[in-house]
Amino acid sequence: MAQALPVSAAREAKLFRNNRSQAVRIPVEFELPGEKVLIHREGHRLIIEPAPQKKLLDILRGLEPLGVDDWFPDDIDAGLLPATEVNL
């Protein structure tokens, strides 16, 4: 179960323009992790929250499969000493 975060007192922040977008300067005590956020409206409130981090399986699912020729070149062992036989 997720642990509830403490509620902090409201604080005024500065709005400014960045090209054609409006931006807000977030005070350090409200800093969010990561590089992206999700933003949505609830009535007159704007809710800004950290974007969920991608999970490893989602990243792996998005990769293109490697072809056999892409994975190991034919001469991968060129220049190596001959293999030594091992008795187990």
Q: How confident is the model at residue 6 (pLDDT cuts 50, 70, 90)?
A: confident
Cα dihedral 44, 49, 55, 59, rounded to 10, equals: 70
* ∠ Cα 12 13 18 (to 5°): 160
Residue 2 has pLDDT above 90, yes or no: no
What is the domain extent for residue 35?
Answer: 18-63
User: Could you tell me the pTM of the whole model?
Assistant: 0.52
Q: How many domains does the chain have?
A: 1
Residue tagged 């409206």 (tokens): 41
Cα 16 from Cα 34, distance rounded (Å): 22
pLDDT on residue 72: 66
Q: For residue 58, is it within any domain?
A: yes
Residue 38 lies in a domain: yes
pLDDT digits (tens, 9 = 90+) for 21-48: 999 999 999 999 888 999 999 999 999 9
